[in-house]
Structure 1
Amino acid sequence: MAIPPPPGPEQSPDPYGQPYPQAPQPQDPYGQPYPQAPQPQGPYQQPYPAQGPYQTWGQGYSPYNRPSSVNGLAIAALVLGVLCFLPAVGLILGVIALAQIKKRGERGKGMAVGGIVMSSIGVLLLVLTFATGGARDFWDGFQDAADDAGGGVTFSVDKGECFNAPGGSLEGMAYDVDRVSCAGEHDAEVFANFSMPAGGYPGDSKVTDVADTKCFTLQDQYAMDYWAVPDNVDVYYFTPTRQSWKLGDREITCMFGNTDETASLTGSLRNDASTLDADQVAYLKAAHVLNAAMDTAPDEEYVEDDLPGHKEWATRMSDALAEQAGLLRDHSFAPAAEKPVAALVKDIEAARKEWAAAADAADADAFYPHYEKGSKLIDPARTVTARKALGLAATPPAYDEDGGGQDGGGGGTGAEV
């Protein structure tokens, strides 16, 4: 009877977990198995780890791990810094990005630092630009470029022309006007043009002051009889801008316009040597001498506040009255106007004496009586008879508190257009 062999030593499983097949043990002729020699342990006879034949990758070495993300604010800070656009915003974003990167473990520290550095430089340049006036130069250059793109065209309106302003307003900026006949309704009538000296742009205030002073003087040459100018008419003007000055524009245009923007003018206001006769021109020229002196009254309203100034003014008035009387006496007027003009000359000469006495006054109390008498003798109402005889306007214009002399005077506000 065959006896099964005793169990041998446990065999190592193969790499796939299956035991190696056991070879039959040889037996001696007497039924005893041969002794087994110890088997050396080879490198492949150790059992594999329970998890299988391949070792898993450890955290940090796995090829499938995602890299940490880049901070978005760091990117924005870098872009703003490179473009030098909103540098203060770029600086703030860079600082915030550094804090987020440290807290979240994100990437982009170099970009955040770069954005901070470049934005800081941009902020510094911006401060220097405003401190040195570079911002103004930049804006002027930008406006010049815009003007050049639009053609940079300036316009001019000649003396004696009438026009309508776009929108009907004579205030603000004007780019062009519509010329119309002075016989019909219009917004303005040009009475003078003059040019400012060459050189750099003197500034808006200087240009306005020149226009106001010069236009006030020139209006009498176009409208010699100021009584014929309606009370709702004032003086306006076109002046060069900083941009048009660079294009060679130096011209100032003086014009009459209605003080009511919703109203207009009708008919021409021109009355000069081209529309008046010789007697009318002679009379108005003499009247302008006195008007010019009246306009030099002191700023102080009361004599007590500036006695020397009022005495000097009284001297100018006395001299002007003497000149006016001489001009009227030297001209031969038509028979219908001789007597009225002669009566007016007597009043003028009497007024001259009173103003001369006021100029010699020792104090304000002595000044006032002569001043009041002299003012009554040149009251505009005393000229109405002579004016009617000469065919001139016979209704005195309204006067404001600043006064106004015989036969008109005064002037407009000179609002800039």
Structure 2
Amino acid sequence: MSSGKALRVAVAGLGTVGAGVVDLLARNRDLIAARAGRPIEVVAVAARSKNKDRGVDLSGMAWEEGALALAKRNDYDVLVEVVGGSEGQTVEAVEFALKAGRPVVTANKAMLALHGARLGQLAHDNGVALAFEAAVAGGIPIIKALREGLAGNQFQRVFGILNGTCNFILTKMRQEKREFVDVLAEAQRLGYAEADPTFDVDGIDAAHKLSILASVAFGSPTNFDAVHVEGIRHISALDISYATELGYRIKLLGIAGLTPNGLEQRVHPCMVPLDTPIAHVEGVFNAVVAEGDAVGTSFLQGRGAGAGPTASAVVSDLIDLARGHNVPAFAVPPAAMKALPAAPMAKHRGAYYVRLMVVDRPGVIADVAAALRDEKVSMEAMIQRGRDPGEVVPVVITTHETEEAAMVRALDRITALEAVTEPPRIIRIIERL
């Protein structure tokens, strides 16, 4: 493709992101052409309903009903895949384009988390790019930062707020002292949460993104099955109130880092200290932190979803391709990737917040303390206010650093106590951010 000749783009999927890409390429046409060194034009699209008004001009573009049919056309240079889904025709379309020697730009984090290593190899074998800035943290250019801007660093850890829906819910719960179910319903009304919010609130979406980040940062093939995943359904307004009192904010974090036991990948609610920047990332915003041996700590914050931010990321990849810029999908060539052992969650070491609901009667705290002592879990502090004999009251305990397996054993013993009326609620405390 010679300089000055338009880069012809086929866009599979005309939902929020796909329509956003078409709109951005048209709206900033001249600026993008100047920065890319040539025009970037959408020549073909694929979506189910041809007559739906998507708020963008599709005149002059060829139309296909499915992603695979679009990929099989021979009149485009780059396939943009923004349909989503980790199996079926979406993956087949990406595979077809790569095998045909056409680069692919995708926002599909589920597909990359589950098939990234294979698709990266396919792109490498056919000498084309697999680009996915839009797959992680929307408008935050974290993939380019890890893969290029910070490429000289040995990374110790990458972590962040990777799901805006959960961050919105936790922010609202704290600010308005409301419960999870109530705020989730509001998030759905506002369009921040899907009708079926499982992927978001159960941590799966964040886990997909973390798997990709870990692969790019640590040169290991994506391994979604190795990610420990917990969501936010069990977080209550009571826990958020106690967190504030203790000097923390509750955030759903994705954390990947090298440990003596291997590569640790985990997504779960965390208590983060109020004096850390990530504690103050509110609403639907995302944030990602990378720790490198040369650069130290880099903190990036921005909108993690939506038409504009995600389209911005897609177009940045298209500009790179228009310039002839092609780097390995996951920062190193497939042959240089090394499968790292997965660190078992049972070996994780950290501090814990534990909330118990117990019948207020003599000896209960002694029994709880004995269960912790027997597993060598050291209490840092305890909150128990007032007396209400015979009634159920909350008791909050924070611990010093301990091994997860010991904490689990202690909680099993505590759960079995007659005076404990419901399973303990635990949230991991992250001090070093």
Structure having the larger proportion of residues in helix: 1
Structure having the larger proportion of residues in strand: 2
TM range (shorter): under 0.3
Q: TM-score, normalised by structure 1?
A: 0.25
Structure of larger gyration radius: 1
